[in-house]
Chain A
Amino acid sequence: MSGPKPKRVVLQGVPASPGFAIGPAYLLHPEDRIVKKRVIPPEKVEQEVARLKRALDKAHKEILGIKTRISGDVGEYEARIFDSHMMMLQDVEIVDAVIKDIHENLHNAEYAYSARINSLAERFENMSGGFLKDHMSDLRDVATRVIDILMLSENNLSYLDVPEPVIVMSRNLTPSVLSQFNRKNTLGLTTEVGGKTSHVSILARSLEIPAVSGISLSGLDIEPGQTVILDGTAGFIILNPSLRDIKEYEIKKAAFFAMERELSTLRDLEPVTTDGKYIELSANIELPIEVESVLQYGADSVGLYRSEFLFLTREDMPSEEEQYQAYKYIGERMSPRAVTIRTMDAGGDKLVPALKMAGELNPYMGWRSIRVCLDNRDIFKTQLRAVMRATAYSNIRLMFPMISNLWEIRETKKILDEVRRELDRDGIAYNAQLEIGCMVEVPSAVVMADELAREVDFFSIGTNDLIQFTLAVDRANERIAELFEPNSPAVWRQIKSVIEVARRHGIQVCVCGEMAGDPFAAIVLIGMGIDELSMGPGVLLEMKKLIRSTSFEEARVCSEDVLKLTTADEIGSYLRDRYGAKLADLGIIKFPGKTPSHF
């Protein structure tokens, strides 16, 4: 090669899927494909129309296949976009005009089709408002597929047929095109449009292809085959990288793979203590789509699905059908693992617009949670009905939040019985052996735990509320934030007593508050005899590492020591002295001397 050395260029984009790649650039310009115009002999017109119809039919089948896969992998809502794509395929505005063009002007099918799409695209371009981009990309996705099928039937060539490992650089890659890529030869991916939450980014993450979005190809001086470094974690690419860049990224790539390997080894190991006690590890989630990361991190179950997130982001109430679809999706995706659905826990800092909840002076102690549900029976019954219907298909458990007296749990069970009778009457299936549980997060429930245990199949201790109510410290009030002390002996003694009650009644007990994910607190909880810990998916693997290096017997001794101490400071320093160095060695905490966080 002659001329000056090409300049090193760093292009900042948006991180779309983590990981690193080094390889030759492969430029993908689907809309730049040249569709040749041919004139067909008049006697071949019907044959050409038939070829078009076969291509449309094939495209329809392909899109249907993608829709089915996406609704399984990503979600039914996301998959619904493909319904509109299938309608575009059959649209009279397109099909009739193309057939007319073939008949009257004797144009070949791919030319007639692409001409029609171009004329519609022009009308989109003249359109005002924010639809332009979306409509264009939907239309292009559909059109590219049809034209590809038509051209493939002619000369058997495809731009998807990538012969060697490359970094694919595209303007606007659609999920349907990405899903057809040869995964082995796709080292990395850049797109011009779309961000972290775009469909193509979600798909790239689930396929574990590093990706950066927001990289514009227009005006970019890049030759096919030129070496590119892609950093999907930080969200940039380097064109014409230096030798040092390449060395650096070889190391990063190797480290990334090693980390993935280590974590993925942990993913398939059981959360068992060194002396053989199994601690069920589960995840807290807020959105159905989070199920994917729960599975990726190898959780035993979903220990807490915060169903109120279905209600928070909208002005109206989600219908029974919508709720049912969400619950069913999570249940089926996790199956045979269990999913604990907590009924709507509204109020406090989570106001549901449709309920017109007013700001209160003391919202955490106000009209919230189960109280709201018992005051709005119709809304509550709709949710219970949706959950019950979903139990027919998977291992779902039902949990009620903020129970503070026996009447509330008994009344709730009465309503659930009404729902069961209605479902029986309507002949709708549900799991008759459904397990129900309640949150223990109000001190009155701790005191009455013995009686509550007779009403339910499991307890789940919500530590955030239990701490604020026990210590009378509003957790939203920054002025008293220091008083919010998880290590308070008053908190630890209550947790211990709830676990003992559960033991006596032979029911399962879980901790699903922030304390479950704190390594110091988790050791004490394990020692006290907790059955299950439920936490954010991101800390699951580290917690598994901790459990696998801890003995239950030692944790039991530690928990007994903790119960003898009388101030939060003493408990904090005891745990730090005893476990700080060990947790730092395991790489779970960075500084052994650091006070246990205020979770």
Chain B
Amino acid sequence: MVTIELTVINDSGIHARPAALIVETATKYKSNVIFIKDGMRANAKSIMNIMLLAAEPGAVIRVETEGPDEAEALAAIEALFLSRFKYD
């Protein structure tokens, strides 16, 4: 398992559009991708899970990936955060 802590740095937080991008990215990998915020664990391959996290701008999220391509999955999620979810 690999893990990293990421901060939501776009202007509007993880609303529906960024959530869709996260799910789209996570489902490309075989590994499990878990987001943890305030003790709440969310499966990043489920848009409802991601939406229920209610991650506002500035929120800190721990991302865990586990599986055959865990490093790649983690890097892809990190890149997505750093890009401010591309289109916001």
B15 touches A88 (CB 8 A): no
The reply to whether A91 and B87 form a contact with Cβ atoms under 8 Å apart is no
Query: Hey, which chain A residues are within 8 Å of B13, CB to CB?
Result: 129-131
User: Which residues of chain A in 115-142 are interfacial with respect to chain B, using CB atoms and an 8 Å cutoff?
Assistant: 120, 123-124, 127-131, 134-135, 138
Q: Which of B28-36, B45-53, B61-69, B73-81 contacts A (4 or more CB under 8 A)?
A: B45-53
Q: A77-B87, A81-B16, A134-B15 are in contact. Are A91 and B54 (CB under 8 A)?
A: no
State whether A127 touches B52 (Cβ < 8 A).
yes
Which residues of A72-114 are within 8 A (CB) of B?
77, 80-81, 83-85, 87-88, 91-94
- Nearest to A87 among chain B residues (CB) is B47
Q: A411 at the A/B interface (Cβ < 8 Å)?
A: no
Given known A81-B16, A127-B54, A131-B56, contact A120–B87 (CB-CB < 8 A): no
Query: In the complex, are the beta carbons of A93 and B17 less than 8 A apart?
Result: no
List of B residues within 8 angstroms of A129 by Cβ? 13, 54, 56
Picked from B20, B45, B87, the residue with its CB within 8 Å of the CB of A84 is B20
**Beta-carbon contacts of A200-233 to B below 8 Å, as 1s and 0s?**
0000000000000000000000000000000000
Is A316 close to B, CB under 8 A?
yes
A514–chain B nearest beta-carbon distance, Å: 33
Q: Mark A308-339, 1 if CB is under 8 A from B, else 0.
A: 00000000100100100000000000000000
**Contact indicator per residue, chain A 294-320, by CB within 8 Å of chain B (1) or not (0):** 000000000000000000000010010
Say if the beta carbon of B41 comes within 8 Å of chain A.
no
> A83 — which chain B residues lie within 8 A by C-beta?
17, 20, 24
Q: Are B47 and A91 within 8 A (Cβ)?
A: yes
Verify B84–A316 contact, CB threshold 8 A: yes
User: A107 to B71, alpha carbons, bound, how many Å?
Assistant: 43
Question: Chain A nearest CB: distance from B79 CB in Å?
Answer: 13
Nearest CB in chain A: distance from B34 CB, A: 14
Q: A93 to chain B: which residues have CB within 8 Å?
A: 43, 46, 48-49
- Across the interface, do A124 and B16 meet the contact criterion of CB distance under 8 Å? no
Q: How far is the CB of B58 from chain A (nearest CB, A)?
A: 11
A91 and B48 in contact (CB under 8 A), knowing A131-B13, A322-B87?
Answer: yes
B87 touches A87 (CB 8 A): no
| Binary per-residue interface labels of chain B (1-29) against chain A in the complex, 1 for a CB within 8 Å, 0 otherwise | 00000000000010111011001100000
B27 closest partner in A (C-beta): A87
Contact count A vs B, C-beta below 8 Å = 61
* Nearest A-chain residue to B20, judged by Cβ: A84
Scoring B16, B46, B54 by chain A CB atoms within 10 A of each residue's CB, the highest score goes to B16
Query: Does B17 contact A91, Cβ atoms closer than 8 Å?
Result: no
A131 to B55, CA, bound (A): 9
- A88 CA to B16 CA in the complex, in Å? 10
Question: Which residue of the partner chain, among B16, B49, B87, contacts A134 with CB atoms under 8 Å?
Answer: B16
Whether A84 pairs with B84 at a CB distance below 8 angstroms is: no
Specify the chain B residue showing the minimal Cβ separation from A318.
B87
User: A119 to chain B: closest CB distance in Å?
Assistant: 11
B47→A88 contact, CB < 8 A: yes
Selected contact of B48 from candidates A81, A120, A319, CB within 8 Å: A120
Check B16 against A91 for contact (C-beta < 8 Å): no
Given contacts A123-B52, A129-B56, contact A81 B46 (CB under 8 A): no
Determine the distance from Cα of A83 to Cα of B15 in the docked complex, in whole angstroms: 13
- Shortest distance between the CB of A89 and any CB in chain B (Å): 10
Closest residue on chain B to residue A90 by CB atoms: B47
The answer to whether A92 touches B52 (Cβ under 8 A) is no
Give Cα distance in the complex from A57 to B17, angstroms: 21
CB-contact partner of B23 in A81, A87, A123, A130, under 8 A:
A87
Q: Are B48 and A84 in contact (CB under 8 A)?
A: no
Closest CB in chain A relative to B26 CB, distance in Å: 11
B56 touches A130 (CB 8 A): yes
Q: Contact partner of A128 among B15, B20, B24, B54, CB < 8 A?
A: B54
- Contact between A131 and B54, CB atoms less than 8 A apart: yes
Least CB separation from A96: chain B residue:
B46
- Which residues of chain A have C-beta atoms less than 8 A from B15's C-beta? 131, 134-135
A80 proximity list for chain B (CB < 8 A):
17, 20, 87
Contact indicator A84/B52 (Cβ below 8 Å): no
**Inter-subunit contact B54/A92 (CB<8 Å):** no
Question: Which residues of A174-200 have CB atoms within 8 Å of chain B's CB atoms?
Answer: none
**In the bound complex, CA of A316 to CA of B82 (Å):** 11
Chain A residues closer than 8 Å to B43, beta-carbon distance? 92-93
- Give the shortest distance, in Å, between A153 (CB) and chain B (any CB): 25
Looking at B23, B43, B48, B84, the one whose CB has the most chain A CB atoms below 10 A away is: B48
Query: What is the minimal beta-carbon distance from B42 to any residue of chain A, in angstroms?
Result: 10
Contacts of A92 in B (CB 8 A): 43, 45-46
Please report the C-alpha to C-alpha distance between residue A87 and residue B87 in the assembled complex, in whole angstroms.
18
Q: Which 3 A-B pairs have the closest CB atoms?
A: A84-B20, A93-B48, A84-B16
21 A–B contacts, CB within 8 A, in A order: A80-B20, A81-B16, A83-B24, A84-B16, A84-B19, A87-B20, A87-B24, A88-B47, A91-B46, A93-B46, A93-B48, A94-B48, A120-B48, A127-B52, A128-B54, A129-B13, A131-B54, A134-B15, A135-B51, A138-B16, A322-B86
Beyond A123-B52, A124-B52, A138-B16, 7 additional contacts (C-beta under 8 Å) are A80-B17, A80-B20, A87-B24, A124-B51, A127-B52, A127-B54, A129-B54
